[in-house]
């Protein structure tokens, strides 16, 4: 059976291929490699996203070749980039630069080089009201672009509540993006329909979170949000966490074979349009 980590970062300055090898050694088979900003690459405008995304795509190619994992890729302008761009360009031009980053990501999806647009969304901390409005404008634009490209979006936002899940579902409805194709990264253990409102939670693979989620059902993905930052070893969770927790929960009888298949194979295939076998 596949073991899929839905949110995993790699950085050439971190453990890099060794982290992917740790995931594989623990029983992992499939990764969603998610783009994050590289602070050694310039970000002066929207066109700069092309070079940054290429580094993430190069990493995916290397992991496939050298480690033998199946790697899918999500690329998109990181929400906090808006604050950096606002300082140098002003908010109107910064907003357009972020939208250009969405357009470049969508082109990579159409070209078959990327699977999803992400992580996109809005800052996970309080910001000025004008920045918040622009962040939501950019997020809605990203959902519209994803709808046109026929792909999912992976959201980075503040800690969600059921009402925030409903807000994202309503945003998706407005542009015609199916709610199933809206993935809330770093989700708490929300699984019930009245908690998620059709948006798909990607739950941090802490054992307490997973136990609570499994008591409610099996409509969720699992992730580590491993960030591969040498300044924060093992953050957010270590690279082997998803396969290890999956094996432990299955051994304890808390995750059935059917639930494991749904979490690691059926839902990723349905959400992203990928082959997870």
Taking the domains of the chain in order of start, what are their residue ranges? 4-272
Position 164 pLDDT exceeds 90: yes
Owner of token pair 């971190």:
14
Query: Averaged over 124-142, what is the pLDDT?
Result: 98
Predicted confidence (pLDDT) per residue in 202-215, tens digit: 999 999 999 999 99
Asked if 168 contacts 199 with a C-beta cutoff of 8 angstroms, the reply is yes
Q: Using pLDDT thresholds of 50, 70 and 90, give the confidence band for residue 187.
A: very high
Question: Which of 8, 263, 174, 224 lies closest to 271, judged by CA?
Answer: 263
pLDDT value for 15: 97
Region 134-144 average pLDDT: 98
Assess contact for 22 and 238: CB atoms under 8 A: yes
DSSP assignment of 121-172 equals: E--SS---HHHHHHHHHHHHHHHHHHHHHT--EEEE-SPP-HHHHHHHHHHH
Q: Which fold has domain 4-272?
A: TIM Barrel (3.20.20)
For residue 272, the model assigns a pLDDT of: 98
Is the separation of the CB atoms in 271 and 172 below 8 Å?
Answer: no
pLDDT of residue 126 exceeding 90:
yes
CA 37 distance to own-chain centroid: 13
pLDDT of residue 271 exceeding 90: yes
Contact (Cβ atoms closer than 8 angstroms) between residue 9 and residue 228 = yes
Residue-wise burial string across 84-121, b where 16 or more C-beta atoms lie within 10 A, e elsewhere: ebbeebebeebbebbbbbbebbbebbeeebbbbbbbbb
pLDDT of residue 277: 83
Residue 101 predicted with pLDDT over 90: yes
Task: Tell me if residue 221 falls in helix, strand or coil.
Answer: strand
104: alpha, beta or left, given left = phi > 0 and alpha = psi -120 to 50?
Answer: alpha
pLDDT greater than 90 at residue 135: yes
pLDDT at residue 3 tops 90 = yes
Q: What are the pLDDT digits (tens) for 36-69?
A: 999 899 999 999 999 999 999 999 999 999 999 9
pLDDT tens digit sequence for 222-268:
999 999 999 999 999 999 999 999 999 999 999 999 999 999 999 99
């Amino acid at each position: 059976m596949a073991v899929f980590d839905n949110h995993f970062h790699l950085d050439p300055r971190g453990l890099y291929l060794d982290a992917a090898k740790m995931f594989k050694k623990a029983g992992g088979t499939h990764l969603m490699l998610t783009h994050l900003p590289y602070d050694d690459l310039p970000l002066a405008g929207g066109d700069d996203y092309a070079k940054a995304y290429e580094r993430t795509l190069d990493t995916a190619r290397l992991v496939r070749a050298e480690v033998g994992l199946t790697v899918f890729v999500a690329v998109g302008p990181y929400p906090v980039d808006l604050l950096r761009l606002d300082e140098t360009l002003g908010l109107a031009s910064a907003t357009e630069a972020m939208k250009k980053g969405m357009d470049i990501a969508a082109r990579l999806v159409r070209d078959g080089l990327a699977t999803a647009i992400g992580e996109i969304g809005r800052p996970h901390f309080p910001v000025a009201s004008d920045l918040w409005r622009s962040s939501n404008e950019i997020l809605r634009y990203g959902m519209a672009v994803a709808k046109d490209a026929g792909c999912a979006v992976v959201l980075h936002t503040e800690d969600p509540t059921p009402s925030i899940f409903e807000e994202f579902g309503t945003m998706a409805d407005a542009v015609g993006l199916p709610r199933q194709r809206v993935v809330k990264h770093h989700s708490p253990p929300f699984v019930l329909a009245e908690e998620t409102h059709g948006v798909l939670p990607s739950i941090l693979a802490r054992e307490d979170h997973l136990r609570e989620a499994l008591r409610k059902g099996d409509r969720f993905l699992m992730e580590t949000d491993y960030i591969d930052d040498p300044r924060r070893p093992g953050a957010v969770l270590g690279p082997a966490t998803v396969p290890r927790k999956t094996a432990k929960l299955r051994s304890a009888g808390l995750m059935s074979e059917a639930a494991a298949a749904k979490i690691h194979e059926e839902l990723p295939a349905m959400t992203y349009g990928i082959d997870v076998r």
